[in-house]
Structure 1
Amino acid sequence: MNRLPLTFACEDQTLAGTIDTAPASVGLLIVSGGNEIRAGAFSGQARLAERVARAGFPVFRFDRRGVGDSEGKNRGFRASAKDIAAAIDAFRAMAPQMKRVVAFGNCDAASALMLASGAGCEALVLSNPWTIEDDQDDLPPSAAVRSRYIEKLKNPAELARLVTGGVDLRKLARGLARAALPRSQPSSLAQDMAAGLEKFEGQVRILLAETDRTAQAFVEQWDSADSRIAYCEKASHAFVEPHARDWLFEQLLMALRGSSRP
């Protein structure tokens, strides 16, 4: 395995990328979420790329326009389809043995892949897709509130606090009212994501971290019976817990090996 930095073109701008080489004919494209650079938070994506490459699969990461080492204006995830497509072209050029590209994105990177209908990849791994509109309130979704109260009811210490007056009853009432709200209608972003994904003909797996608010908001606006969904218990948004890192790695390997089981 070798790690090589490179540059490639997206329209009239120059983008920066990194490839971890490996011999397999299937490769992993990691799309960064938010305004995150290609190494990821605390180099998490760089470590993931190394681990996947050591398993035999080439991995490509990149900074979209206006982020990190790449030129241009940052227009956000909704306008990143051309960046993703350019990265796929560069990846194929650097690893000519590849016959199949699996793209992985977390949060709004997953949303970007859905909006772009895969942008030319053969398979998608979408984790904790972002469905919240800019003008939505910042209160937790009702599913998140219900989940939180269920966990509290399982905890004897929390029940003791309730009995002994250690709980703010006004706050509790507001929380219960929020939890009782019906499922929200899909946002226009969620609808656009669903429409984009419907056009994609390849294999899809949707990975959700059980304790993540973004994942809980996604489920409220998606078909929770979707057979492509898999949950990682007690995992946070970036799958930083040791068991969650291993789970994510195994899910990516299954996608790279062509397994249909989420």
Structure 2
Amino acid sequence: MSERAVVFRVGEEELLGILHPGAEGARRGVLIAVGGPQYRVGSHRQFLLLARHLAAQGIPVFRFDFRGMGDATGRQRDYEEVHEDMSAAMDTFTQQVPDLREVVIWGLCGAASAGLFYAWRDTRVAGLVLANPWVRTDEGLARAYLKTYYLKRLFSREFWVGVLRGRFNPWTSVQSLARMTGAALCSRGTQGDSSNPEAPRADLGNGPLPDRMAEGWRRFDGPILVILSGDDLTAAEFRDVATAAPAWKGLLAEPRVTLRELPQANHTFSRREWRDRVAAWTQDWVQTAPNRGAT
């Protein structure tokens, strides 16, 4: 069966999704949620190509536009305001593929965060694939800059050659480093996060974004695949939070969690070799991950 467009509704708004049916009788599928200001095709056709790869292996896929994005009507919403969109997409996906019993949510960046906020409340969600999850806070970003940018520059021959030849102003770099260090030393969570302060908090409290995501992680009892890029600030922030924040203690080491890393990859896995590796990891994990509650 060929892929086809499906129009569905959330209240008075129309949303558009693309169904990739996969194999007849398939019981586990993948719902691709879109993060950030983009639509269902994804950067450099990332989501389209991922969906076609999975469907060719028999896995049904549904990718769709949130309200206010792509071909969907309504105002644009952030990752904490899309629960109704996710639920409607789940309803539509399971209606279009009658044999479907389990759905894995696949999300990049803010869509990974949206998946954590949503998954625990819907028993149809069999698992989560979280690619470079968004846990942005001001101090978290500062720490990521310190670890991934400033330290590399300090040990970079090119930087010091540039300083000696007058191409770089070392005082400017020192001032910038001092600002970042001050932000990084702030108590974790005291500055809050960069999401909409008036957005609904998904019944996970009103703490900083990383703490709310950790709570969503705990409430979801299914398997989780985490995919991280090595050349990405968002992934660097997540690593720092997942390994050092008290709210995340032990979560990444749980037996139900599979961690995969691409050391050279950027945020959207823009090279074919990176994209293909992510697709292969996703396929293998979706086909072999245990049922929810069995981990």
**TM-score > 0.5, shorter chain as reference:** yes
Aligned residues: CA RMSD: 2.6
- Which sections of structure 2, spanning at least 5 residues, go unmatched? 193-207, 245-249, 291-295
Q: CA deviation at 1:164?
A: 5.0
Partner-residue secondary structure (3-state), 1:148: helix
Partner of 2:80: 78
Distance, in Å, in 2 between the alignment partners of 1:189 and 1:157 is 37
Q: Which of 183, 198, 201 is the matching residue for 2:218?
A: 198
Question: Does the CA contact (< 8 Å) of 1:26 and 1:99 recur in 2?
Answer: yes
Distance, in Å, in 1 between the alignment partners of 2:118 and 2:90 is 13
TM-score, normalisation: structure 1: 0.86
Question: Does the CA contact (< 8 Å) of 1:85 and 1:119 recur in 2?
Answer: no
The 1:176/1:194 distance shift into structure 2, 3 A limit, reads: same
AA in 2 matched with 1:99 = R
Q: CA deviation at 1:221?
A: 2.8
Distance, in Å, in 1 between the alignment partners of 2:98 and 2:235 is 36
Q: CA deviation at 1:144?
A: 2.9
Distance, in Å, in 2 between the alignment partners of 1:114 and 1:183 is 26
What is the count of residue pairs matched by the alignment?
A: 257
Q: How does 1:240-259 map to 2 (within 5 A)?
A: 240-259=270-289
Distance, in Å, in 2 between the alignment partners of 1:6 and 1:26 is 19
Distance, in Å, in 2 between the alignment partners of 1:208 and 1:9 is 33
TM-score, normalisation: structure 2: 0.77
Partner of 2:237: 217
Q: CA deviation at 1:21?
A: 1.4
Partner of 1:128: 132
Partner of 1:239: 269
AA in 2 matched with 1:206 = V
Q: CA deviation at 1:165?
A: 5.1
Distance, in Å, in 2 between the alignment partners of 1:94 and 1:236 is 34
Distance, in Å, in 2 between the alignment partners of 1:210 and 1:182 is 24
Most deviating of 106-115 and 159-168: 159-168
The 1:183/1:54 distance shift into structure 2, 3 A limit, reads: farther
Partner of 2:43: 41
- Which sections of structure 1, spanning at least 5 residues, go unmatched? none
Partner of 1:142: 143
Distance, in Å, in 1 between the alignment partners of 2:74 and 2:162 is 54
Distance, in Å, in 2 between the alignment partners of 1:148 and 1:52 is 35
Q: CA deviation at 1:84?
A: 0.6
